[in-house]
């Protein structure tokens, strides 16, 4: 059990370090670096390293296709909503509207994926 706890701690710290780095860079006026750090696929990077170790390359490949399509279906509309609405209604309401759209589209996407057994092991 201890190796699993250590792995979870590594996942947690990795995500927290990148989140802190992004916010710190933005607050200090380093928009280019904060933008670059934001674009890094931190969660999939860490997850795929460990998924690959436990389940192999086929599982990582299948999951990558699942996430890629899901990103197009739900994350892209989320970002469009936030970008469009933030200057008009403020960041908090825009993020709320974006998250609502994200969860609706992601939920529909997941229902379709699991109903039709798409992406193998995703």
What does the pLDDT look like over 9-64, one tens digit per residue?
A: 887 887 788 888 888 998 999 989 888 888 888 778 878 988 898 899 999 999 99
Contact between 69 and 62 (Cβ < 8 Å): no
Residue with the larger pLDDT of the pair 26 and 121 = 26
- How much of the chain, in percent, has pLDDT values that exceed 70? 98
Band (84; pLDDT cuts 50, 70, 90): very high
Q: Given this model, what pLDDT does residue 83 score?
A: 98
3-state helix, strand, coil split of the chain in percent (to 5) is 90, 0, 10
Q: Given this model, what pLDDT does residue 121 score?
A: 54
**Region class of 116: left (phi > 0), else alpha (psi between -120 and 50), else beta:** alpha
Q: Is 89 a residue whose pLDDT tops 80?
A: yes
Q: Given this model, what pLDDT does residue 18 score?
A: 80
From residue 50, give the alpha-carbon distance in Å to each of 61, 70, 80, 84, 99: 13, 21, 31, 36, 28
Average pLDDT score, the chain: 90
What sign has the CA pseudo-torsion 89, 84, 65, 18? negative
Q: What is the mean pLDDT of the segment spanning 99-111?
A: 97
């Amino acid at each position: 059990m201890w190796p699993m706890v250590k792995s979870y701690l590594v996942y947690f710290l990795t995500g927290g370090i990148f989140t802190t780095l992004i916010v710190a860079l933005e607050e200090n006026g380093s928009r280019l670096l904060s933008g670059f750090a934001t674009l890094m696929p931190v969660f999939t990077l860490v997850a795929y390293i460990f998924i690959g170790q436990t389940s192999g390359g086929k599982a990582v490949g299948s999951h990558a296709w699942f996430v890629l399509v899901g990103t197009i279906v739900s994350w892209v509309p989320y970002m469009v909503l936030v970008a469009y609405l933030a200057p008009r209604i403020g960041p908090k309401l825009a993020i709320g509207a974006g998250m609502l759209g994200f969860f609706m589209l992601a939920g529909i996407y997941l229902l379709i994926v699991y109903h039709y057994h798409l992406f193998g092991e995703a």
